[in-house]
Structure 1
Amino acid sequence: MNARQPIPLHMLLGTYPGTEALITGAVKSELVTLDFAKVARANNGFKRVVRDMEFDVAELAIVTFLMAKARGKPLVLLPAVMIGRFQHPYIVYNAARGELSPHELNGKRIGLRSYSVTTATWVRGILQNDFGLDLASVQWTTFEEPHVKEFVDPPNVSRAAEGKDLIQMLLDGEIDAAIVGDGAKADPRIKTLFPDPAAQAHAWQARNNAIQINHMIVAKQSLVDTHPDAVREVFRLLEESRRAAAAKGGKAEPAFGLEANRRNIEVAIDYCVDQKLIDRRLTVDELFDDTTRVLGA
């Protein structure tokens, strides 16, 4: 009898310390073969995940996933966090034009890559909940359309003119603040809106008992239905790859497992509902199914 052939899976996954062993092949499987998409950054493929359903398994921003799930996209969440970070350092302003505090943003102009990206959603939620920002009072300037095609940006969102650059608009005074995914730039005029982002992040965590998830792993519902063993194997490989990184002295990564992340996901759902990115409050449990819910337990 012939040995069972591995199940081929097309996968979107970024290269991080915790995924390097998997992507390079140092961590292997006899059950699945992984064909990794060739993208410079995982977020370059997120539209393909939720619009084209191109990947069997994919890294995906949590807000993009929640928006897609709320609109009926057949995706299932795995309790595997790829990126979790506090977002307080990622809103900046031009100090050469005067001081600006988180309490002074009502009626201001804020630039960002796309309205519904996860970093922007976390930053808006922080400003709304902790500093009283009226999101409807802000003029938001974006550069890209939403990942989820069915979502329509709010009326106070406009697209920057062709050829415009987010940081240059900030320096030129065309916007008052900017949400930048890679944090404050080297230009000495650009400062973080929060004078001590780390302290603000610590206070947020204490109040909310959560971390701010950026990316997790999703699978197509059809794969989970037909090959649940393949989904379990992908999760095992991700865990093994993380252990390999930890053995080399890598930094501690966000925990895997549903219960370890239940509160984190609940807060993400709350922020999405409050900002009208989804029209109903999804439950954490409906994001998973019987196969993925118990992974890492």
Structure 2
Amino acid sequence: MAPIRFALGAQPTFAALKASATLPNGAAVEWPAISPIHRAFALMARAQAYDLCEMAIVTAVQAVAYGKPIIVLPATVASRAQHRCLIRLTARPEVTPETLRGGRIGVRAYTQTTGMWVRAILAETHGVAAHEVRWTTQEGAHVAEYDDPPQVVRAPESASLLEMLDAGKLDAVILGNDLPDDPRYSPVIPDPAAAATAWAAKHGIPQVNHLVVARQDFAEAHPDDLRAAYAALRDAAGGSSALPFGAALEPALAVVLATCLDQGLLPRALSVAEVLAPARRILGQ
């Protein structure tokens, strides 16, 4: 059998796993070099380019909704508090969450998971619904069948979100791993660390960013390898509450599914059971 192709990002939590050429059951594995890892998501959603692949949770549930031949594993490999990811120019303190109603926000893609979480925060905590904002994006969805809603426009190809923010063409932008460490930019949400702590205390879940998915035909043909990969990921996560596995993921996934439906990110309602049933069957959960 050819080595298992596993596209996984550069999180320190999984560095030791990625340093190995085999899974615990002895199956050979190769780790394609992809940076940033989100470049793998469309390849997996559209063409199932890998046997196993890290994938944004919004992309994963969209892929299920549109009938893509992938299996979503209850394996979280990235999460973070998103409150700090909505930024403004420090010179514009008048930009607050509430003033963004009718305002202009830039985000890499409307379907980006960080954007989904930030929109949920704006709606729940600040009363600003997604449809009340003018959204500017740099790219479309990883799942080709999804079309952005009408309040979304595409930025010129040459423009970066920060450049548009600097030029006053946007009031705020949402950034994730590329969040700048620069005093010219400040979080829109006051004291985002405290706000994130309060949100987590209220909801009791982490804001999950990325899961792992498997190509369906690989999972069906090699269930032992899928179980070995899942176990290796779970062991590397070490029981962290920020990286829920198995049943511990279900409350966060339920919130994601409800939020995605509310924001028009899904063509139909999905249940936690529908999303996870194929993996549960193979993993014996």
TM over 0.5: yes
Query: For 1:70 and 1:188, how far apart are their aligned partners in 2?
Result: 41
2:273 maps to 1:285: yes
Aligned residues: 285
CA distance 1:131–1:52, change in 2 (3 Å): same
CA distance 1:270–1:24, change in 2 (3 Å): same
2:217 maps to 1:229: no
1:212 aligned residue: 207
Deviation of the 1:280 alpha carbon: 2.2
User: Any conservation in 2 of the 1:84–1:215 contact (CA below 8 Å)?
Assistant: yes
1:3 aligned residue: none
Aligned residue for 1:288, secondary structure, equals helix
User: Any conservation in 2 of the 1:184–1:191 contact (CA below 8 Å)?
Assistant: no
From 272, 275, 279, the equivalent of 2:263 is 275
Return 52-61 or 93-102, whichever deviates more.
Answer: 93-102
Aligned residue for 1:237, secondary structure, equals helix
Query: For 2:186 and 2:156, how far apart are their aligned partners in 1?
Result: 25
Deviation of the 1:26 alpha carbon: 7.5
From 10, 14, 26, the equivalent of 1:15 is 10
1:265 aligned residue: 253
Deviation of the 1:29 alpha carbon: 3.5
Query: For 1:103 and 1:296, how far apart are their aligned partners in 2?
Result: 47
1:263 is aligned with what amino acid?
A: P
From 107, 114, 117, the equivalent of 2:112 is 117
Of structures 1 and 2, the larger Rg is shown by: 1
From 189, 196, 208, the equivalent of 2:184 is 189
CA distance 1:107–1:219, change in 2 (3 Å): same
Deviations 1:216-272 (A, max 9, x none): 1111221222221111011122234445xx9xxxxx463443221110111111110
User: Any conservation in 2 of the 1:136–1:156 contact (CA below 8 Å)?
Assistant: yes
User: Any conservation in 2 of the 1:83–1:214 contact (CA below 8 Å)?
Assistant: yes
1:272 is aligned with what amino acid?
A: C
Query: For 1:195 and 1:293, how far apart are their aligned partners in 2?
Result: 44
CA distance 1:226–1:165, change in 2 (3 Å): same
Deviations 1:85-126 (A, max 9, x none): 110010001131342211221110111111101000110111
From 239, 243, 260, the equivalent of 2:234 is 239
Deviation of the 1:169 alpha carbon: 1.1
Deviation of the 1:211 alpha carbon: 1.2
2:261 is aligned with what amino acid?
A: V
Aligned residue for 2:136, secondary structure, equals strand
Deviation of the 1:293 alpha carbon: 5.7
1:172 is aligned with what amino acid?
A: A
1:61 aligned residue: 56
1:79 is aligned with what amino acid?
A: P
1:287 is aligned with what amino acid?
A: V
User: Any conservation in 2 of the 1:77–1:292 contact (CA below 8 Å)?
Assistant: no
Query: For 1:255 and 1:142, how far apart are their aligned partners in 2?
Result: 28
2:120 maps to 1:132: no
Return 194-203 or 31-40, whichever deviates more.
Answer: 31-40
2:141 maps to 1:146: yes
Deviation of the 1:134 alpha carbon: 2.7
1:155 aligned residue: 150
Query: For 2:162 and 2:4, how far apart are their aligned partners in 1?
Result: 39
2:13 is aligned with what amino acid?
A: G
Query: For 1:135 and 1:241, how far apart are their aligned partners in 2?
Result: 36
